[in-house]
Chains A and B, each alone.
Chain A
Amino acid sequence: MSRWSTAPNLTTVQDLTKYKDLFADPEQPGMGRFMNCPIGWGCEQKNNNKLEAYGLSETFVNFKPGSGAALDAAFASAYKRGKAVVGYYWEPTWILGMYDMVKLQEPACTDANADACAFPSTAAHTTASGQFVKDADVLEDFFRNYKTSSAQVSSILGYLQANEGATRDDAAMNFLKTEEGSWTKWVPADVAAKIKAAL
Chain B
Amino acid sequence: MFPETLEWPLERWVNQFLDWLIVGYGDQFEAFSGVILRILIQIESMLRAIPWWGMIIIIAALAWHASRRWQLSLLVTICLVLIGSLGLWDMAIQTMALMIISVLISILVGLPVGVLMANSNRLRSILLPVLDAMQTMPPFVYLVPAVMLFGLGKVSAIVATVIFAIPPLVRLTDLGIRLVDADVMEASRSFGTGRLKQLISVQIPLAMPNIMAGINQCTMMALGMVVVASMIGARGLGEYVLTGIQRLDVGKGMAGGIAIVALAIIFDRITQAYGQRKMKTHGPK
Contact = CB atoms under 8 A, between A and B. Distances in A.
Contacts of B81: none
A134 interface: no
A164 B22 contact: no
A70 B147 contact: yes
Given A27-B153, A64-B233, A40 B247 contact: yes
Interface centre among B22, B37, B239 (most CB of A within 10 A): B22
Interface stretch (B11-19, B100-108, B204-212): B11-19
Contact of A81 (B23, B34, B239): B23
A26 B232 contact: no
Interface string A71-85: 001101100110100
Contact of A39 (B34, B37, B243): B243
A182 interface: no
B243 A26 contact: no
A73 B153 CA distance: 12
Contacts of B151: 26, 74, 77
A69 interface: yes
Contacts of B154: 27
B149 interface: yes
Interface string B138-160: 00100111011101111000000
- Chain B interface size, under 10 / 10 to 19 / 20 to 34 / 35 or more: 20 to 34
Chain A interface, >50% SS class: loop
Given A26-B151, A164-B12, A70 B143 contact: yes
- Chain A interface size, under 10 / 10 to 19 / 20 to 34 / 35 or more: 20 to 34
Nearest to B242: A39
Nearest to A29: B41
Contacts of B140: 69
Contacts of B34: 26
B271 interface: no
A40 B230 CA distance: 13
B239 A39 contact: yes
Interface in A53-68: 63-67
B91 to A, nearest CB: 14
B162 to A, nearest CB: 18
Instruction: Give 3 nearest A-B pairs by CB, closest first.
Output: A40-B246, A77-B148, A66-B231
8 contacts: A38-B246, A39-B243, A63-B233, A64-B233, A66-B233, A67-B232, A69-B144, A70-B232
Given A39-B243, A40-B242, A74-B148, 19 more contacts: A26-B151, A64-B239, A65-B152, A66-B232, A67-B232, A69-B144, A69-B231, A70-B143, A70-B233, A73-B152, A76-B148, A77-B26, A77-B151, A80-B19, A80-B23, A81-B22, A81-B26, A164-B11, A164-B15
